[in-house]
Structure 1
Amino acid sequence: MKSEKVYLTIATLATSLTLVACGTGDEGTDMSFSESSSSTSMNMEDSSMMNSDSDMDMEGMMHDDSGEVPDDLKEAADPTYEVGSTAVIQADHMEGMKGAEATIVGAFDTTVYEVSYQPTTGAKRVENHKWVTQEEIEEAGDEVIANGVEVTLKADHMEGMDDAPAIIEASKTTTIYMIDYEPTTGGDTIKNHKWVTEDELSSEQ
């Protein structure tokens, strides 16, 4: 009898230990799932934040489509591409621009500048923006401004551009065009885009 009791006691202890071990394993699985769920949730939040940042960047790229130009900007006397004609865009200032067909809205003779500037909205610094005209720079007179000179923009092509401090990166004196075009990526027609230079357009693809 004693040996049977000892055997039953041992069997009971063994069963208890097995159950405890199984319970620990389940808890470990639950923790792992919880951690995985938490990680997934964090990743989704991070992704949402990234998408939000991306949307903000896209908002910063929205351009002025009013068609307004500086009063002292002179219309081109004999432009290669006349107002109302079409041309193919060779520039890629914005996504969907290169290869798109443009309708010429305006043609002007001036000096244009490639600039880097800090938006007044506090957004990320814009490097090598093309283009702003001589007439859209606060300190500009009649002379071409040298590379590296700091100026103040009075253009409003993009959000945060007007009154922003900028550095002149490059310049050229040429005919510039205001254009309408349908992006090659699809979407709405871009109206009164400022600016493309004459060498950024072609008569064929």
Structure 2
Amino acid sequence: MADNKIFVIDYGSGNLASVVNMIRHEGGEAHIITEPDHLAAADKLILPGVGAFDHGISSLRQKGWIAPLERAVFERKVPIMGICLGMQLLTRGSEEGQEPGLGWLDAHARRFRPADVKLKVPHMGWNEVRQMREDVLLPLVETARRFYFVHSYLVECGNSEDVLLECDYGETFVAAFRRENIWGFQFHPEKSHKFGMEIFRHFLEV
């Protein structure tokens, strides 16, 4: 674990310090990187993100991240975790913008449309999730996990086998997915206390 090079990608759309601090709390060492060339040395990657979809994906493209990211993820099979907007950027695209996403999974993002007018968008706060299948980052447990969410858009997966966690907020949505070495979390594990710590702890061990 100590030798793992865990890189948090700074492309101008993320709360990076909280992620780094959570990893350190769990005994790992994470480094914020600002240059795509650094990806060649990565053992694990985290793609955080807050803000608008088009701004995030355009920033990745304009700063030259995408080709080095795809070499790391698909050729070297480096584990990567997308958080919040970072998760949505892994999909084919979003209703929020016009730009195509990375398209690493058969999924897309769309805005919440709760039938109950009392439910505010963005969806913000703590919510329980349902586990759809076991995963190395999310071993099956008897008690429900709770995570902290802040988002106006939800992800729909074309392949139900990719779904790890579901959550309800006026409608059912994907709270986490996985396809091979690619994980996405709609919530913020870095703000989810012991439940988020568990995810980072297992990510260090992958």
TM-score using structure 1 length: 0.23
TM-score using structure 2 length: 0.23
> Which has the greater radius of gyration?
1
